[in-house]
Amino acid sequence: MLRFLTAGESHGQAELAILEGIPVGLSVTEEIIQKDLDKRRGGAGRGGRGLIEKDKVKILSGVRLGKTIGSPIALLVENSDFQNWKVTMSVHPPSEQTSHLREVSNPRPGHADLAGALKYGFSDIRNVIERSSARETIMRVAIGSICRRFLSEFNIQIDSRIIRIGKMEIPDNSQIEEIIIRALKKKDTLGGVIQIIARNVPPGLGSYVHWDRKLDGLIARALMSIPSVKAVEIGDGITNAGKFGSQVHDEIYYDEKYLRKTNHAGGLEGGVTNGEDIVCRVYHKPLSTLGNPFNTINLQTKKSVKAVVERSDICVVPRAGVISEAMIAFVLSDVLLEKFGSDNLNDIKKNYQNYLRRIKI
């Protein structure tokens, strides 16, 4: 069983993660993880933070001589912007702190600001902003990179592509920057849709026996936990809802293995993989920080004011695919370990090959 925890605030000293359950013998290096972190860092629509942070990862434990040793893997990414925060706090009294340090009392509609302040009893929304920030996803990507490395031992591959930004279908990436620049000039933000595909996933992962072990539910939960994601689709779930069953279900054939000519189900039936590609789509809302802020209510005065304007991206979609890939990699690694699990990678691979021989793949 895999589990992970992240810790850290957006402008704190560092972002941290602990991943437990990766078996002994997996090759993992900082360079492997860094490739995915660089994907998250780049892309059109990035705000000013992207110019500051280098997002260099350090492996603190769980790996020796480039191989996992079975103990929890600890990861660290230092926040370069923390130095700016420290300097500003030491120079200015609280009443003169810069915009990203001052006490925040005007919650942004669409963000965790108000709900978080009410939940914990904060008068300063900064306490909510610092942890609810999407900066936390850097550690999910780092963890997902290790899980992706584990899945590659079984030839399972995960990738993603942008389907839509705003209302515009994206056949290729050439239009993305122009669309985002238009939103920037309007002081607005954009959402969009990303498709994630996991290939070479064997049938039989997940379960139909209990609700909390259904793989489609686990995937939906993982993807919905990503900041700004407001809907998750598996296969053609949204369009399937408006069709007849005769137009939707994937007929079964056999040619040395079970196969389908269509994949409307997105590789999952009854909460279990069926051997086809797992296909998911995530729907990102436009980001909540607007250059022309919405009306809101000040927490102290209860009077109508304009929402706070925080440093923010214009559109997260161009760099968010790797976050969804990471979450699916974690979920698939977990269910694969559940089915074929052992403390040693070689033992897991033997169990996996025995299973494939039994189902004749």
Which residues fall in the annotated binding site for FMN? 131-133, 270, 285-289, 311
Whole-number Å distance between alpha carbons of 3 and 133: 21
Question: Rounded to 5 degrees, what angle do the CA atoms 75, 34, 39 make?
Answer: 120
Whole-number Å distance between alpha carbons of 98 and 105: 15
Quick one: how far is CA 185 from the chain centroid?
A: 28
Q: Which residues are annotated as a binding site?
A: 40, 46, 131-133, 270, 285-289, 311
List the structure tokens of 333.
């690694």
Quick one: how far is CA 308 from the chain centroid?
A: 26
Radius of gyration of the chain (CA): 22
Q: Which residues are annotated as a binding site for NADP(+)?
A: 40, 46
What Å distances lie between residue 355 and 156, 175, 219, 351, CA to CA? Answer: 16, 45, 23, 6
Cβ count within 10 A of residue 3: 11
**Closest C-alpha to 289, from 100, 69, 158:** 100
Return the percent helix, strand and coil in the chain, to nearest 5: 35, 20, 40
Q: What's the first-to-final CA gap in the chain, in angstroms?
A: 25
